[in-house]
Structure 1
Amino acid sequence: MVTTPITPELVRGALELERTELGLAPHRLPARARAQVNSMEHADRGQIAMAEAQPSGVRLVLRTRATVVELDTLRTRVGYRDLPLRPDGVYDLLVDGRLTTRARATGGRVMYLDPATGTTETQPGPVGTVRFDGLPEREKDLEVWLPHTEITELVALRSDAPVAAAPPGDRPVWVHHGSSISHGSNAASPATTWPALAAAAGGVELVNLGFGGSAMIDPFVARTLRDTPADLVSVKLGINVVNGDVMRRRALGPAVHGFLDTIREGRPTVPLLVVSPILCPIHEDTPGPGAVDLDDDGAMRFRATGDPADVAAGRLTLRVVREELARVVAQRAADDPHLAYLDGRALYGEADAEALPLPDRLHPDAATHALMAERFAALAFGPGGAGSQLWDVGGWPG
């Protein structure tokens, strides 16, 4: 077996690789943004610190004749105190762009997060190995998609033939920011989250900045989007400011304007698509904050705890958020021909909620991720969709 150093040229989808005692830790926020996260109070920083370190959309991209590839990783499974652990994370292997097999790692740590205080407690564990064998004995491109639900340190890469970085190619780069739905909650695997599937359908390179529970219109995220090279930027905003109950209507519009202003400082003419929340019945007309219930079978279900009567006083619901986002984009589009709005209910709406209800009342299941991906690809990348006006003006290379 040949050991190949894991270098940045082998990794796509991460914004930074942090050197650790054992190897490399992919991050989806740069160090400056992480420093600002770490300056928050414990109860606020735990969620986003965990989410950005979970490598949704991050993959190793290799060119090789190897028939066996082994990857040593130190995973950190994340659980919430007093709630059951999520299932083990999945590694997807794509051979020449086609999903071929899946595997799971062994060993690893377990980090328990206390949502009330933001404090964590970590139980240690050993490095584990993910092995893919029986691969075709020819020159091929491999993509190993890292688990979107587990913090992952890359420790060692071995194979039975030399490995090199696959050439970057000329596919356009799509940078997307959103909530846990964009992060991939309840998707079957990392290559089958709706952004990953949409990127494959649209023929683009994905940088996924979907952060579970943490799409809060934060300035440090806007600066990250400003500074990340992209041919298309999309931002899917709304559900977390409602279920986190973090602002009122008075603050929402100016916050979105500021968020988009910052992106435009560095990407003045890049096509920019603002996407509102998909349908979520519990929060359509009921404000947050959201809460978690456990069914008798241990399954998690979400509910809204706010009072609809408070909407008149400025509390946010998804219906209010969509009105504000549409208003802000319409105002800005008069001077920004590279900006467009997409109602998230075009990805998942009333009829879909009847046919494919959200299992936990908040997150789509695997079938719904596939449905959303198909629709987004058509609307954002296809002719005649919400993005077509942007490509005509902005010279979209797709």
Structure 2
Amino acid sequence: MDHQHDPRTWITTPITAGLLRGALAPERTGRGLLPHRLPAWARAQCTDPQLARAQSQPAGVRLAFRTRATALELDTIPTKTLYTGLPARPEGLYDLLVDGRLTGQASVAGGDTLTIDIATRTAEHRPGPAGTLRFDGLPDRIKDIEIWLPYNETTELLALRTDAPVEPAPDRGRRVWLHHGSSISHGSDAASPTTTWPALAAAAGDVELINLGLGGNALLDPFTARTLRDTPADLISIKIGINVVNQDLMRLRAFTPAVHGFLDTIREGHPDTPLLVVSPILCPAVEDTPGPCTLDLAALAAGQVRFLATGDPAERASGKLTLGVIRDELARIVEQRAADDPNLHHLDGRNLYGEADATTLPLPDRLHPDAATHHHIAQRFAAHAFTAPGPFAP
């Protein structure tokens, strides 16, 4: 927009951590402010590029401020991820909430590109230009604004301009819900950042969300447990299992003490906080077949993304993990620990998405839920967790 011929007076507000919600470690870069969801010390303990991407994608992160402005602009540098041989994914969406109501959606063009070749496991990063998000025609009154960032695009925040002064949004006194999970919690194929299942469930439960859903990386990492331990929260949930199977990361012998250690670490910082352990939703491909999971190359040749498990079901006898094995073990671990920890709870993920749901709402790529299924999971979770006598009921 040509501000030289705009009669309004534009005010540029520095983007600082005080305007952000849901980002645990904003980093000041040479270009702007980059919201991270894992602290620097945790990122230094793992060099996996997929983890680096996942934690820098701002799932659940939003700008939150109070203003009388009727127009606003946000300059950002998004990172668009491209996959060699596959069609480009839709542009990431920014959701505008005015006093809690979804009022606008838009994307930012331009930005950096990250081109990933799945076959060779290589990636090429190319810098690109900044883009501008604009929302106009907002109500002329004092209001609380939230701009939810795309859950699937690393986003550097450069400048916020408004036609009236801005102040940080006040603390509404809501409880803070800290959630950790896989790509399904991260957002997978939800329609927009406020319609991932954790965002929808948080809205239903009237809580402040910190989303530590890390695509492909809910792997019982000790640094993730310590991050959960050190993050102030009133409610905590961890949804674990699917990534451990997909990566064929460990056997049952290692899985059980790893879960205990993960819970022990969280409890060091949150000894009495309601803590909900959620097992995997139904995923027919890996219910009884161990990982690792891989892309279906025949489907890929036809331009479709589908996943399949490549393990041998007979290997369960030697401790290989499937979702069925993991669900049974998580239920047993929570029951054992709950005898001394009355604030520890368990939820079978099939109560969020089970056999009947797979018939009416199949997983398009055999692994990730679509937009409609995110709504379905959110409704089920909110009904279980936030409604009495659920573990997160007020």
Alignment partners' CA distance in 2, 1:125 and 1:366: 29
Structure 2 partner of 1:394: none
1:37 and 1:118, CA in 2 relative to 1: closer, same or farther beyond 3 A?
farther
Please give the residue correspondences for 1:33-48 in structure 2 after superposition, counting only pairs within 5 Å.
33-38=42-47, 45-48=48-51
Query: 1:68 touches 1:132 (CA, 8 Å); kept in 2?
Result: yes
Alignment partners' CA distance in 2, 1:79 and 1:270: 40
Alignment partners' CA distance in 1, 2:248 and 2:118: 15
Can you give the 5+ residue segments of structure 2 that lack an aligned partner in the other structure?
1-9
**Residue 211 in 1 paired to residue 214 in 2?**
yes
**Residue 223 in 1 paired to residue 226 in 2?**
yes
Structure 2 partner of 1:250: 253
1:276-304 alpha-carbon deviations (Å, 9 max, x no partner):
00000001011111111335652211111
Structure 2 partner of 1:199: 202
**Residue 29 in 1 paired to residue 38 in 2?**
yes
Alignment partners' CA distance in 1, 2:258 and 2:302: 40
What letter matches 2:43 in structure 1? R
CA shift for structure 1 position 160: 1.1
Please give the residue correspondences for 1:129-168 in structure 2 after superposition, counting only pairs within 5 Å.
129-168=132-171
Structure 2 partner of 1:302: 307
CA shift for structure 1 position 86: 2.0
1:296 and 1:120, CA in 2 relative to 1: closer, same or farther beyond 3 A?
closer
Deviation larger for 110-119 or 191-200: 110-119
Alignment partners' CA distance in 2, 1:272 and 1:192: 23
Structure 2 partner of 1:100: 103
Structure 2 partner of 1:9: 18
1:121-152 alpha-carbon deviations (Å, 9 max, x no partner):
11221000011111111111111000000000
**Residue 333 in 1 paired to residue 342 in 2?**
no
Q: Which among 364, 368, 371 is matched to residue 363 of structure 1?
A: 368
Alignment partners' CA distance in 2, 1:357 and 1:182: 17
Identity of aligned residues (%): 67
Q: Which among 166, 178, 182 is matched to residue 181 of structure 2?
A: 178
CA shift for structure 1 position 184: 0.3
Q: Which among 48, 66, 71 is matched to residue 74 of structure 2?
A: 71
Q: Secondary structure at the match of 1:36?
A: coil
What letter matches 1:383 in structure 2? A
Query: 1:91 touches 1:104 (CA, 8 Å); kept in 2?
Result: yes
Structure 2 partner of 1:113: 116
Deviation larger for 11-20 or 304-313: 304-313
1:200 and 1:263, CA in 2 relative to 1: closer, same or farther beyond 3 A?
same
Over the residues paired in the alignment, what is the CA RMSD in angstroms? 1.3
CA shift for structure 1 position 163: 1.2
Alignment partners' CA distance in 2, 1:116 and 1:55: 27
Query: 1:47 touches 1:118 (CA, 8 Å); kept in 2?
Result: no
1:29-50 alpha-carbon deviations (Å, 9 max, x no partner):
0010011123xxxxxx011110
1:182-241 alpha-carbon deviations (Å, 9 max, x no partner):
000000000100000000000000000000011001000000000000001100000000
What letter matches 2:195 in structure 1? T
CA shift for structure 1 position 114: 4.7
Q: Secondary structure at the match of 2:46?
A: helix
What letter matches 2:289 in structure 1? T
Query: 1:68 touches 1:135 (CA, 8 Å); kept in 2?
Result: yes
Q: Which among 277, 281, 285 is matched to residue 280 of structure 2?
A: 277
CA shift for structure 1 position 92: 0.4
CA shift for structure 1 position 155: 0.3
Query: 1:46 touches 1:118 (CA, 8 Å); kept in 2?
Result: no
Q: Which among 341, 348, 369 is matched to residue 343 of structure 1?
A: 348
CA shift for structure 1 position 251: 0.9
CA shift for structure 1 position 107: 0.8
Alignment partners' CA distance in 1, 2:30 and 2:79: 15
CA shift for structure 1 position 247: 0.5
Q: Secondary structure at the match of 1:156?
A: strand
Q: Secondary structure at the match of 2:254?
A: helix
Query: 1:46 touches 1:113 (CA, 8 Å); kept in 2?
Result: no
Alignment partners' CA distance in 1, 2:124 and 2:247: 23
What letter matches 2:46 in structure 1? V
Structure 1 partner of 2:290: 287
What letter matches 1:349 in structure 2? G
Alignment partners' CA distance in 1, 2:71 and 2:131: 16
Can you give the 5+ residue segments of structure 1 that lack an aligned partner in the other structure?
39-44, 392-397
1:240-270 alpha-carbon deviations (Å, 9 max, x no partner):
0001110111111110000000101111111
CA shift for structure 1 position 328: 0.7
What letter matches 2:90 in structure 1? P
CA shift for structure 1 position 112: 2.2
Alignment partners' CA distance in 1, 2:76 and 2:244: 34
Q: Secondary structure at the match of 2:228?
A: helix
Alignment partners' CA distance in 1, 2:136 and 2:354: 42
1:323-348 alpha-carbon deviations (Å, 9 max, x no partner):
11011111110110110000001100
Alignment partners' CA distance in 1, 2:267 and 2:169: 32
Please give the residue correspondences for 1:380-395 in structure 2 after superposition, counting only pairs within 5 Å.
380-385=385-390, 387=391
Q: Which among 47, 50, 53 is matched to residue 50 of structure 1?
A: 53
1:334 and 1:118, CA in 2 relative to 1: closer, same or farther beyond 3 A?
farther
> How does the TM-score come out when normalised to structure 1?
0.94
